[in-house]
């Protein structure tokens, strides 16, 4: 086994001529140490190139300064911005973020959560609320604070920093319906285990209901998250709706929407003249496709930042759940237009 031989607190204390307690305080609560001692200690730290041993600190202080994040995927941009913001906040507090991804698999998510807790995570950021209750009981048993993001809930026991997917989706679809669309299809990410996706579909249904269209007028196709699958979904929709073809295709996210737009164009439809397409998330890709996507902007950055602050506070002093609702806004670009008549 490897045998590192790094300077320890004791080495520092010896060099500085103080006790280890004082050195420890210098590092953790500098205000409790006199100016002059602190200076001497810090010089010793410098000269020895001392860095505290993580394990020892974790065990002695019973916390690690590690905050775990489990996101469904790293492979596309949806969560990246939020995670980056989350990290930056933690960084400024000398804490560390541990990220893991679940590939949208509940089992893998459960495993990742256990791993993170096993690694000593002081708190956890999760996406959405839909997971095995066992996980929640495990986490509360271990007294690990959890903040959820990218969604909201009525459940007063959950802390979250998110937004209401259903309302946001309804708002977008309502706007689209106001242009006169009546034949609508929806391309969703798999809604099983994904409350965000499910809520977005519900929101679309809400808007359809308000518009006095038959809610089951909307064909919903579910498919995994990729541009290619978006295109497949489009083709399947066209095939299924051959009698009255859709004039509007609502997509659960921008990646699928891009796939729909491209497939539609390849098959000879003009967007938005023949078919309108709307997305969700407002990730970079939505401005790259032509026409640029009309979509819903999600406050990625704020969500990450505020979630980090919230979780950090919760770890410092556990309190009642904290719930923060953020606003989304519709971004009007070129992929939504009036239906042909």
Partner DNA sequence: TTTTAAAATGCAAGCTATTACATGAATAAA
Partner DNA sequence: TTTATTCATGTAATAGCTTGCATTTTAAAA
By CB under 7 A, name the binding residues for DNA.
1, 6, 8-10, 17-22, 24-25, 27-28, 32-34, 36-38, 50, 52-53, 56-57, 59-62
CB 238, CB 231: distance < 8 Å: no
266 binds a copy of itself (CB under 8 A): no
Whether the bond between 272 and the residue before it is cis, its omega within 30 degrees of 0, is: yes
Could you tell me how far CA 312 lies from the centroid of its own chain? 17
- Residue of the chain from 8, 37, 96, 334 that contacts a copy of itself (CB under 8 A): 96
- Residue of the chain from 14, 48, 80, 313 that contacts a copy of itself (CB under 8 A): 80
Contacts of 187 (CB under 8 A, 6+ apart): 220, 221, 222, 223, 230, 233, 234, 237, 249, 250, 251, 252, 256, 257, 260
Residue recorded with tokens 């730290």: 45
Piece of the chain touching a copy of itself by CB under 8 A; list 21-29, 52-60, 152-160, 269-277: 52-60
Q: Which is nearer to DNA, 52 or 321 (CB)?
A: 52
Q: Which is nearer to DNA, 9 or 66 (CB)?
A: 9
Q: Which is nearer to DNA, 143 or 242 (CB)?
A: 143
- Min dist CB 288 to a copy of itself, Å, is 5
Which runs of E-coded beta strand occur in the chain?
Answer: 66-71, 96-101, 123-127, 146-149, 159-162, 184-188, 219-222, 248-251, 276-278, 295-297, 323-325, 329-331
76 binds a copy of itself (CB under 8 A): yes
User: In sequence order, what are the beta bridge partners of 162?
Assistant: 325
57 binds a copy of itself (CB under 8 A): yes
52 binds a copy of itself (CB under 8 A): yes
302-331 binders of a copy of itself (CB under 8 A): 315, 318
Dihedral angle, C-alpha 224, 228, 229, 233, nearest 10 °? 160
Concatenating the DSSP letter of every residue in 9-21 gives HHHHHHHHTS-HH
Piece of the chain touching a copy of itself by CB under 8 A; list 94-102, 148-156, 157-165, 330-338: 94-102
Sign of the Cα pseudo-torsion (324, 252, 182, 336, in order): positive
- Residue of the chain from 172, 289, 307, 322 that contacts a copy of itself (CB under 8 A): 289
333 binds a copy of itself (CB under 8 A): no
Q: Where are the alpha helices (DSSP H) in 130-226?
A: 133-141, 165-178, 195-210
Q: Which is nearer to a copy of itself, 208 or 261 (CB)?
A: 261
Q: Which does 217 bind (CB under 5 to 8 A by kind): DNA, a copy of itself, none?
A: none
Interface residues with a copy of itself (CB under 8 A) are 1-4, 6, 49, 51-64, 66, 73-77, 80-81, 83-84, 87, 91, 96-101, 114-120, 138, 141-143, 227, 258, 262, 284-285, 287-290, 315, 318
């Amino acid at each position: 086994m490897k045998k590192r031989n790094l300077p320890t607190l004791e080495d520092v204390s010896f060099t500085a001529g103080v006790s280890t307690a004082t050195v420890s305080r210098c590092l953790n609560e500098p205000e409790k140490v006199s100016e002059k001692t602190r200076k001497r200690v810090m010089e010793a730290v410098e000269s020895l190139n001392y860095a505290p041993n993580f394990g020892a600190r974790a065990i002695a202080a019973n916390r690690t300064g590690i905050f775990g994040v489990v996101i469904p995927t790293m492979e596309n941009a949806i969560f990246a911005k939020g995670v980056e913001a989350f990290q930056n906040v933690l960084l400024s507090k000398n804490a560390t973020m541990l990220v893991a991804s679940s590939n949208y698999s509940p089992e893998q998510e459960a495993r990742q959560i256990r791993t993170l807790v096993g690694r000593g995570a002081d708190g956890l950021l999760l996406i959405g609320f839909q997971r095995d209750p066992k996980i929640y009981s495990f986490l509360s048993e271990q007294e690990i604070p959890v903040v959820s993001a990218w969604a909201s809930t009525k459940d007063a026991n959950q802390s979250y920093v998110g937004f209401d997917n259903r309302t946001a989706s309804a708002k977008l679809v309502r706007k689209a319906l106001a242009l006169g669309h009546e034949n609508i299809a929806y391309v969703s990410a798999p809604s099983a285990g994904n409350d965000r996706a499910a809520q977005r579909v519900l929101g679309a249904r809400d808007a359809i209901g308000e518009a006095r269209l038959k809610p089951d007028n909307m064909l919903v196709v579910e498919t995994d998250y990729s541009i290619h699958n978006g295109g497949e979904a489009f083709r399947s929709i066209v095939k299924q709706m051959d009698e009255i073809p859709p004039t509007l295709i609502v997509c659960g996210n921008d990646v699928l929407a891009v796939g729909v737009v491209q497939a539609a164009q390849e098959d000879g439809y003009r967007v938005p003249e023949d078919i309108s397409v709307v997305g969700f998330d407002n990730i970079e890709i939505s401005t790259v496709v032509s026409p640029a996507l009309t979509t819903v902007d999600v406050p990625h950055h704020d969500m990450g930042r505020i979630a980090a602050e919230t979780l950090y506070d919760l770890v410092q002093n556990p309190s009642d759940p904290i719930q923060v609702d953020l606003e989304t806004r519709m971004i009007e670009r070129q992929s939504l237009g009036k239906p042909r008549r």
